[in-house]
Amino acid sequence: MRRSSAQQLEGMSLTVKSEQHGHSSVRLQGMRRAIANQMAKSHAEIPGVHIIDEVDVSGLPLSRLLPVIVTATSCIIRKYSHLNAHFDGEELTTFDYCNVGIAVDTDDGLVVPVIRSANEKSVVEIAQDIDDLALRAREKALTPTDMKNATITVTSPGKRGGIIATPLINPPQTAIIGVHRAFERPTVHEGSIQVRKIANVTTTFDHRVIDGAEAGDFTIELVHQIEATVRHLANR
């Protein structure tokens, strides 16, 4: 009788040769540890829900996209106070001002310096603030004050690739806005098919304190405000 493969192997001494040699382990410290703790807290505690929409940014240099998103967000956010807020699990605090955290990629990890009173600034002033904060972040010259008291965050992962991402909310904030890779594609514009530059925008919100209707209305108005700002800049 033919023996099964299992029977043939039974009792045999097998030696498996590994081609792997060594490994390295690094204990997370400093900024990397702080980032890990904050992201774990967000993922474990916040029921984040994502709304995804498209925005036409044709004619806008991509270097100006982030300032436009920050400007548009700060212009309309007071109508949607629950998205411009902090929630500690018990108490919701809303703000009359809008301090926007901007995610900046550095060699040591992601940092989020803050544009203060963004709702009182022009798109040019916000662009200047972004350039200054990003430069100081990469030169490790930010102060603790530069990193405090954001009421909402805007992140722009699109330049790293991918057409969409789902950012994590930075607690105790209740929302984060993401702007993703813009690319040209055929779309209906003013009654005809044209090649336009389209970007994806995400609103990620804390469903404990924000309903989908409010977040959806905010996202629709955000898209309209972005497109209006793009048209305004194009006509200057």
pLDDT at 9 over 50: no
- Taking the CA atoms of residue 48, residue 55, residue 217 and residue 235 in that order, the dihedral angle to the nearest 10 degrees is 140
Exposed, middle or buried by CB within 10 Å (0-12, 13-18, 19+), for 137? buried
Q: Tens digit of pLDDT for each residue in 33-75?
A: 888 898 899 999 999 999 999 999 999 998 899 999 999 999 9
The CATH class of the 29-234 domain is alpha beta
Catalytic residue among 21, 207, 224, 232: 207
Distance CA 200, CA 65 (A): 12
How much is the pLDDT for 161? Answer: 64
Assess whether pLDDT exceeds 70 at residue 199. yes
76-132 pLDDT, tens digit per residue, is 999 999 999 999 999 999 999 999 999 998 888 889 999 999 999 999 999 999 999
> Where along the chain do its domains lie?
29-234
Q: How many CA atoms lie within 13 A of 26 on its CB side?
A: 5
Q: What pLDDT, in 10s, does the model give residues 209-236?
A: 999 999 999 999 999 999 999 999 888 7
User: Known catalytic residue: 207?
Assistant: yes
